[in-house]
Amino acid sequence: MNKQEVNQETKSLMLSWLKAANTEFDKLMGTFYLDDVSLALSHMDKFESAHDRLFAGLHDLGVYIDASSYQEFFSDEIEDGILYRIETAINEAKEQLEQLIDNGFANDGMEEEAQNEIENEVLPGLTYVLDEIPFTIENVKELSTK
């Protein structure tokens, strides 16, 4: 394959992984437990698994990335960019949920308070980062294949 073909294939594969992850994260957000802190915390394992799949899938493209013109973009926008921010947001959400459990929000009768805390404290950071995935997809689409 020539450089342009490698670039096109690399771009296509990156888009495929990012679009699949975006769909998966959207589904996970749609099924997030708002009134049960313990279930919300256990649900975070699914977010970690989705991140791990995206990380592994994109890193499996190493041979393509190395042969393409996208090494700097991949390092800056993908590895140090969206992958790092997703991992950080998941870890922060888990820490916040663990703190809510420690503060008694997992107790019976605390469902409404738990929901308020999850909606106002936990979800905004996670949502903000996951909302960046479509922008990363657009940035990949704009990469030149020449």
Say if CB 47 and CB 87 are below 8 A apart.
Answer: no
- pLDDT tens figures, 78-116: 999 999 999 999 999 999 999 999 999 998 899 999 999
What's the pTM?
A: 0.94
Return the HEC string of 54-105. HHHHHHCCHHHHHHCCCHHHHHHHHHHHHHHHHHHHHHHHHHHHHHHHHCCC
* Mean pLDDT across 112-141: 96
* Mean pLDDT across 21-38: 95
pLDDT of residue 16: 97
Residue 1 — pLDDT band, cuts 50, 70, 90? confident
- pLDDT tens figures, 46-71: 999 999 999 999 999 999 999 999 99
Task: Give the integer Cα–Cα distance in Å for 133 and 55.
Answer: 13
Measured at the CA of 138, the angle between CA 135 and CA 75, to 5 degrees, comes to 75
- For 3-141, CATH gives 1.20.120
pLDDT of residue 134: 98
Q: 11: which 2 tokens?
A: 């771009």
